[in-house]
């Protein structure tokens, strides 16, 4: 694939505060890349540098093979959907969406057709004559999306564009964004702190923490093969079974976790190091004591709709989270064993 956008050592400092550490990132042509992370992780700063809204302290930005580090925002060929909507308050919904097409001097018939398509996408056809102040926050957000998508830029930046929407509408808009991404063939760079949204939308996720990239990979990579304890805990629910790695008899590696000795992937084990097994709640199943890798007592059972979430005291600092079907859910106070396929449990350093 061809690189559409690259950052080479891009960073941003505000006096003694580092908003973004030197960052190397390549985004492929037509890719949907999500910048994911908690508040203050650097994701929005990186997006704003790419957009031309923030001047980097050092480094280079390359767009379509050309130097763009100090190019004005309006000359970068990038569309952006702001978290704050940034609609023109004196223009109607129709005129807001049509504005970028008028600036590009498109003919009237083409503008009408494009605006109507954009309105259909965001389900706002009944509001064309309203002003932004007459719309709810969620409705304004949908208009901001339509205004960006209507002129089909080659790179589209989206800064938490679905944050003001309710769950049902957010899921609809996620589907529309995925569909539009495929239709346009454009490169999308999407900022969110919502892990489920990132997993649903992305070709790759760039997980950020403490102003730097923590892990970069497909959603499956980050979920199944977390590289760090932060990755394991931020993406989905996980049990971190902390302990000390040791090579046992016959080259078998184990992790000493409290009173338990757990099998450990030999390739990932570091003799004498503090490490943790990452076991997802759906990977473990209840079993008898003789088959168990862990034994514990059920302390809480919570109904979660399609399944039950079960907390088991296994003698560590944190309870073990288990997901069970209604049929298999144990009762509070029950002593149960837990097992999983050791080959499916990731290992991270502490």
**For residues 156, 157, 159 and 165, what is the CA-based torsion angle, rounded to 10 degrees?**
10
Between CA 346 and CA 227 the distance in angstroms is: 8
218 pLDDT more than 90: yes
pLDDT at site 232 = 95
CA dist., res. 222 & res. 200, Å (int):
13
Four-residue CA torsion sign, 171, 177, 183, 185: negative
Residue range 146-181, pLDDT digits in tens:
898 898 888 999 998 887 678 888 888 888 888 888
Helix, coil or strand: residue 289: helix
- pLDDT attached to residue 250: 63
Predicted pLDDT of residue 328: 83
Which one, of 178, 342, 134, 341, lies nearest residue 252 by Cα? 342
Whole-number Å distance between alpha carbons of 90 and 283: 54
Q: Looking at residue 254, what is its pLDDT?
A: 86
The DSSP bridge pattern shows strands 253-257 and 260-264 to be antiparallel
Q: Positive or negative, the Cα torsion across 79, 85, 89, 92?
A: positive
Torsion of CA 71, 73, 77, 82, to 10 degrees: 150
Lowest mean pLDDT among 125-129, 179-183, 208-212, 275-279: 179-183
Q: What is the pTM of this model?
A: 0.88
Domains of the chain: 3-224 (3.40.50.300), 237-349 (2.40.50.100)
Reduce the DSSP state of residue 268 to 3 states and report it: coil
**Res 112 pLDDT > 90:** yes
Identify whether the C-beta of residue 4 lies closer than 8 Å to the C-beta of residue 154: yes
Q: Is the Cβ–Cβ distance between 195 and 236 less than 8 Å?
A: yes
Please tell me the predicted confidence (pLDDT) of residue 258. 82
pLDDT band at 190 (very low <50, low <70, confident <90, very high): very high
What pLDDT, in 10s, does the model give residues 220-277? 999 999 999 999 999 989 999 999 998 766 666 888 888 888 988 877 888 888 999 9
Residue 152 confidence (pLDDT): 82
pLDDT reading at 77 higher than 90: no
Mean pLDDT of 190-207: 95
Residue bearing the bigger pLDDT, 306 or 95: 95
The tokens for 228 are 């760090």
**What is the percent of the chain with per-residue pLDDT over 90, rounded to a whole number?**
66
Arithmetic mean of pLDDT, 32-48: 95
Burial of 114 (0-12, 13-18, 19+ CB in 10 A): buried
Length of the chain: 350
pLDDT for 326 equals 83
* Cα separation, 5 vs 46, whole angstroms: 12
Q: Tell me what pLDDT residue 325 has.
A: 87
């Amino acid at each position: 694939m061809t690189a559409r956008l690259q950052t080479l050592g891009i960073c941003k400092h505000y006096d003694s505060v580092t908003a973004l550490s030197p960052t190397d990132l390549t985004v492929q042509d037509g890719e949907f890349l999500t910048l994911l992370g908690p508040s203050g992780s650097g994701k929005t700063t990186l997006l704003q540098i790419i957009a031309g809204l923030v001047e980097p302290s050092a480094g280079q930005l390359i767009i379509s093979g050309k130097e763009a580090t100090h190019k004005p925002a309006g000359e970068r060929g990038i569309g952006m959907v702001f978290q704050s909507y940034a609609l023109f308050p004196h223009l109607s919904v129709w005129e807001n969406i049509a504005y970028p097409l008028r600036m590009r001097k498109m003919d009237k018939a083409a503008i009408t057709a494009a605006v109507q398509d954009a309105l259909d996408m965001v389900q706002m056809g009944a509001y064309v004559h309203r002003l932004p102040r007459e719309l709810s926050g969620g409705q304004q957000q949908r208009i901001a999306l339509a205004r960006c998508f209507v002129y089909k830029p080659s790179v589209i930046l989206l800064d938490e564009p679905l944050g003001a929407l309710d769950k049902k509408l957010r899921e609809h808009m996620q589907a529309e964004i995925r569909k539009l991404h495929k239709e346009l063939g454009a490169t999308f760079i999407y900022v969110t702190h919502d892990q489920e949204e990132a997993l649903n939308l992305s070709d790759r996720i760039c997980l950020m923490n403490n102003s730097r990239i923590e892990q970069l990979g497909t959603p499956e990579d980050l979920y199944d093969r977390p590289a760090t304890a932060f990755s394991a805990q931020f993406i989905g629910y996980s049990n971190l079974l902390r302990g000390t790695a040791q090579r046992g008899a016959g080259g078998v590696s184990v992790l000493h976790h409290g009173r338990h000795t757990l099998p450990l992937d030999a390739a990932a084990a570091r003799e004498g190091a503090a490490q943790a097994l990452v076991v997802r709640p759906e990977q473990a199943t209840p079993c008898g004591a003789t088959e168990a890798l862990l034994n514990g007592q059920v302390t809480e059972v919570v109904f979660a709709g399609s399944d039950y979430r079960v907390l088991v005291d296994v003698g560590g600092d944190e309870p073990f989270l288990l997901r069970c079907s209604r049929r298999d859910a144990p009762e509070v106070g029950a002593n149960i064993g837990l097992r999983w396929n050791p080959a499916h449990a990731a290992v991270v350093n502490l």
